Amino acid sequence: MVVPDTSSKLPSDSAPAVGLFGLPIIVAALGYFVDIYDLLLFGIVRVPSLRDLGLTPDQISSVGGRIINWQMGGLLLGGILWGVLGDKRGRLSVLFGSIITYSIANIACGFVKHVTFMDPVQYYALMRFVAGVGLAGELGAGITLVSEILPKEKRAVGTSLVAGVGVLGAVVAYFTVKLFNWEMAFFVGGGLGFGLLLLRFGVIESGMFTRITEQKHVSRGNFFSFFTNADRLSRYLKCIGVGIPSWFVTGILASFSNEFGKAWGIAEEIQPGLAITCLYIGMAIGDLSNGFISQALASRKKAIALFMAIAFVFSFVCLYLGIKSATVFYVLCLGLGFGNGYWAMFVTISAEQFGTNLRATAATTVPNMVRAFLIPMTLSYQALKPSLDAINAAAVVGLVTFIIGFYAILTIPETHNKDLNYLEE
């Protein structure tokens, strides 16, 4: 049950107004940019980096899938860790800690070819796990901070601006690999993280969080409280369900697109890195659009459902259209990405569902729970592939994820223009 806490509202002149292009919004956007750069980098360099380590094409598929799962496992663990800390210690403390963690891990990944003290593949998986732990804190804490410092009339547009800039990190990651090599791309990612750390020092803490720290009786960041109340648990699970289709698109359709290319009989090898890049160009446009569409429709739910429907159509068009050219697939990835451009709105809705004392925990754990769902998705895809072939295996996994997604978004409470100044009982 949510209980409004009107006594904790700030006087109108107690905090400076923050505009859509204020420093907190700019830094949050750049933070998400670095987050996406590092998060998607392994998917972009999976094939060339594992090939350089001497793996065969079959090993690249199976080992690459396992390393992705290690990264996603790190995101799951980190999501809980940083989410709880975000509500207990503050939104900014999470941003500092997470940046340091994933920046060090990404620099370490650049040395994988030179590792002699353990198996390089195991080292690679371990470093991606540590990177996952660090990356788990960036988006949720950033969206929570932006949601709490912007007026409710600007929240949707503000978070869309953050995401629209942020998802371009995948594009920069791809061209960094092309201009230099996959090792240098990891070093650049780590350097960007440390550069971002310096910008963080000028960002203020959320006033809503600061106020509840003065209320000693309020329980903050209790992850298990999501499971002690039926209504709260329902909202939490539905938040996760809304995001699951987006990672089917990214983690299966784009990341394993080279395997689909072979199944379609395309002579030219499809590059997963380029597929991910095209996907995220489309996502940048979609994320920027989604906030304005949400405002126009006066509904988070309608905007997300519309984009989810677009992603669903493009997913099955990609799988069953009978694509005969890599170029056609890359173009379709732009449409897929546009439909997938509801990620920021999905995280925003997750933040808006819960009170200030649980908001960072929700907004940080939910997207990382979604990312962790890529583990059963990839395992199911790999298990179904021998009997169904790559295309049909992906279609079965995709159909299940979209059924979950549509049910969740159609039944979750609407949060458009919701006042966030309240506590969870």
Q: Which of residues 167 and 397 earns the better pLDDT score?
A: 397
Q: In this structure, what token pair is assigned to residue 49? A: 């980096």
Phi and psi torsions of 301, nearest 5°: -60, -45
Q: Which of residues 143 and 408 earns the better pLDDT score?
A: 408
Contact in structure between 98 and 135 (CB atoms under 8 Å): yes
Q: What is the pLDDT of residues 372-413, one digit of tens each?
A: 888 899 899 989 999 998 899 999 999 999 999 999 999 999
Taking the alpha carbons at both ends of the chain, their separation in whole angstroms is 6
Cα distances (angstroms) measured from residue 171 to each of 39, 275, 280: 12, 10, 7
What is the C-alpha separation between 258 and 278, in angstroms, rounded?
14
Give the three-class secondary structure for 424: strand
pLDDT of 3 higher than 60? no
User: For residue 373, with 0-12 CB atoms within 10 Å meaning exposed, 13-18 middle and 19 or more buried, which class applies?
Assistant: buried
Contacts of residue 259, Cβ cutoff 8 Å, sequence gap at least 6: 61, 390
pLDDT band at 13 (very low <50, low <70, confident <90, very high): very low
What is the C-alpha separation between 32 and 346, in angstroms, rounded?
15
Q: In this structure, what token pair is assigned to residue 415? A: 């949060």
pLDDT at 5: 42
pLDDT band at 217 (very low <50, low <70, confident <90, very high): low
Give the three-class secondary structure for 423: strand
Q: Which domains does the chain have, with CATH numbers?
A: 21-200+223-424 (1.20.1250.20)
Give the three-class secondary structure for 2: strand
Phi and psi torsions of 268, nearest 5°: -75, 135
Closest CA to 350 of 245, 223, 425, 239: 239
